[in-house]
A and B are shown apart, each in its own frame.
Chain A
Amino acid sequence: MRKTSMSDHATTAIEEVEHGTIKSFTVIWIILLIFTGIEVLLAYEQVTPVIMLVILIGLSVIKAALIIAYFMHLKFERFSLFLTLFPMLIFCILMMLVFMPDSMRSMLMRTQ
């Protein structure tokens, strides 16, 4: 009886390592809340839209990475799953950025 409960405990411990613990989830949640707080404070700083955009997107990307890695479990999945899904997504998003310099150009044209 005692032996069974010990082996059960051991299995649980291994699973906890593989899937994360309640403590680790709570820590991630607190980090996400802190980052959100920083973002709200940043909104009231007087900086140009481009710099603000870069900082806010930077913080959001870190938040997204934390959510994907821990909450969505991707850190504990096989690496092949990550390789199938994310390089393509990141590449497509970066391809959309190709249009961005054009937005600045049309603003210059408008003010002239």
Chain B
Amino acid sequence: MTPQVNVAAAESAWTGGGSPYAVNSKKFGMWLFIISDALTFSALLMAYTYLRLATPEWPKPFHFSPSIIFSSIMTFCLLSSSLTMVMAVHSMHHGNRKATVRWILATIAGGLAFVILHATEWRNLIVNEHMSPSSNEWGEPLFGATFFGITGLHMTHVIIGCIYLSIITIAVARGKFKYEDVEVAGLYWHFVDLVWMFVFPLVYLMSAKI
């Protein structure tokens, strides 16, 4: 083999040389995490859908007010925080760190609003509707188990996302971290938003009291 051939082989994306995806390792790592996390959530949502279809009288306890209104506003908060996150990545791409910090703070505010509304909603269900992970008054204990399991895991993701974004904000404000770090944090945040796009219709809208 001549050196020339070796160089050509190393540069070919199909032989693993060069950069086959043309993304940095952090971004690729985050994508792999997102895919595996997506499988976790799809397994949970599949289990929920299975139980729902297998149960003749699945409870439909969510009143328009407060549950459906609250969850719709929560959806709005998450979608808007996704938009502000895109703006943060956009600003960072143009090297504007001040604007990036402002946009990420807006994103965190959206996330916190989501968590606070969700906690209020949980409190309403636990205190007023006497619902718990193992029992409720509608005769289908699995309803509580799936509801708290799925929304709980999602809320954990939102809380972790808020902490993650706070760290990014502090670093960006101090002049540390590069564009790619903000972009990777953005990927995680959009994924959390994306999961809610499935949890909201499946868990809330399918169980709205008509």
Contact = CB atoms under 8 A, between A and B. Distances in A.
Interface of A: 12, 15, 19, 22, 25-26, 29, 32-33, 36, 39-40, 42-44, 46, 49-50, 52-53, 56-57, 59-60, 63-64, 67-68, 71-73, 77-78, 80-81, 84-86, 88-89, 92-93, 96-97, 99-100, 102-104, 106-107, 110-111
Nearest to A92: B39
A32 B200 CA distance: 13
A67 B190 contact: yes
- Top 10 A-B pairs ranked by shortest CB distance? A43-B205, A56-B201, A103-B54, A103-B53, A81-B21, A43-B208, A96-B46, A29-B83, A103-B50, A71-B190
Given A99-B46, A107-B54, 6 more contacts: A60-B197, A71-B85, A72-B194, A77-B22, A88-B35, A104-B53
Interface stretch (B86-94, B133-141, B146-154, B170-178): B86-94
B210 interface: yes
6 contacts: A19-B90, A29-B82, A67-B193, A77-B23, A78-B20, A97-B46
Contacts of A77: 21-23
Contacts of A72: 186-187, 190-191, 194
A49 B124 CA distance: 26
B38 interface: yes
A93 B79 CA distance: 24
Given A67-B194, A77-B21, A96 B205 contact: no
Q: Determine the main DSSP class of B at the interface with A.
A: helix
A33 B21 contact: no
Interface of B: 13, 20-23, 28, 31-32, 35, 38-39, 42-43, 46, 49-56, 58, 68, 72, 75-76, 79-80, 82-83, 85-87, 90, 93-94, 183, 186-187, 190-191, 193-194, 197-198, 200-202, 204-206, 208, 210
Nearest to B201: A56
A104 B51 CA distance: 10
Nearest to A44: B210
A36 B46 contact: no
A39 B190 contact: no
A104 B87 CA distance: 45
A89 B35 contact: yes
A103 B204 CA distance: 20
Given A77-B22, A89-B39, A107-B56, A22 B206 contact: no
Given A71-B190, A81-B31, A39 B56 contact: no
A105 to B, nearest CB: 8
A36 to B, nearest CB: 5
